[in-house]
Amino acid sequence: MSTKLLITGARERPRGFELGDGKLYGAAVLLRLDVETGETEILLEKTDTGEHYPPEHPNLQFTAGCTAPDTLWLPTDTEIYEIDYPSMQVRQVISHPCFQNVHSANLIDGSLWVTSTGIDTVVQIDPASGEIERLINAEHKPTWHRFSSDVDYRLVHSTRPHDCHPNYVFRHAGEYWVTRCTQEDAVGLEDASKHIDISGEGNSISVHDGVVIDDRAYFTSVDGCLVIADLPSQEVVERIDICQEQNLGRIGWCRGLHIEDDLVWFGFSSIRRTRQSRKLAWLGSSFDKVLGRPACVIAYDLRRRKMVRRFDIRDHAVDAIYGIFPEPTKEAQS
């Protein structure tokens, strides 16, 4: 069992909400959480920018990454860093004009699968060269049906509203899937008939993640549910409302998932104001109560159906959490 976990996320910039979409976060942050002591430390903080970001008020966040032996793959909105671990030396920076609001990078079968959420596209990349192998629209439409291949989208603050908002790629039985926030589902990248309705009928709620264990995929919904789907049947088999079951109330925007044996780790981002009010409709009258509470990580025993630890992120070291995963080791597997 891991004793230290890495948490990727971001810290809000002062008055970021007032600046508009794509300008909220002023620092990308990588934390290390000691699960035995509850202490956190900042391993990496990015406040500088460069040619791959808008010149003013760039959105700086570390999103959902992955590991390989002695290696951390760490995405921002517009770049992907290959980092030696634990020295934290940057080996490579990958960036392309089609990167916009990148939500994740997952190393599968020797390729990096990147969700360029801002243009509703999955980008398959050769991790050695950093070159693009394929662009796949997450609605199975032509890649450039709505956007232009001539535009450098790294310099664009926001392309909202997104048609499908892809956020994470996973694989099962040779099939590649992507989780889509707008449709609240997971869909086959190659085969549109592969489809899992994650949120369920009449339950309009954003969904994330996609951790595969055997024939099951595990997702989060932002209101604090763990959704378990059977991949062969493409059906949700269980939905566990962690917050309700444990009498936690509404504590944050749930995103970021790591599972080891029976222990499930959830990330909860701090609730912030948004111009897309429907995304927070699930909070109801709780909005004012939870607004600005610190982000936290919860450990939940799936077998005993019990929360075993809660780690509040002190001093707003991060306000938004995207990913949770173990430290890379020499034997780390992507």
Q: Which of 321, 289, 254, 248 is nearest to 40 (CA)?
A: 321
> Dihedrals φ, ψ of 224, to 5°?
100, 30
Round to whole Å and give the CA distance between 79 and 9.
14
Q: pLDDT, tens digit, for every residue of 56-71? A: 999 999 999 999 999 9
The distance between the two most distant Cα atoms of the chain, rounded to a whole number of Å, is 53
Q: pLDDT, tens digit, for every residue of 207-218? A: 999 999 999 999
Mean confidence (pLDDT) of the chain: 93
Round to whole Å and give the CA distance between 107 and 66.
7
> What would the 3-class secondary structure string for 40-63 be?
EEEEEEECCCCCCCCCCCCCECCC
Q: pLDDT, tens digit, for every residue of 24-55? A: 999 999 999 999 999 999 999 999 999 999 99
Mean pLDDT score, 221-238: 96
CATH of domain 4-326: 2.130.10.10
CB of 311 within 8 A of CB of 300? no
Round to whole Å and give the CA distance between 23 and 16.
6
CB of 120 within 8 A of CB of 166? yes
CB of 261 within 8 A of CB of 1? yes
Which residue ranges make up each domain of the chain?
4-326
Q: pLDDT, tens digit, for every residue of 151-190? A: 999 999 999 999 999 999 999 999 999 999 999 999 999 9
Q: Could you tell me the pLDDT band of residue 277, with boundaries at 50, 70 and 90?
A: low
CB of 216 within 8 A of CB of 228? yes
Find out whether the peptide bond into 294 is cis, omega within 30 degrees of 0.
no
Strands 235-241 and 253-260: what pairing? Answer: unpaired
Please give the helix or strand (H or E) that residue 16 lies within, else none: helix 16-19
Please give the helix or strand (H or E) that residue 289 lies within, else none: helix 287-290
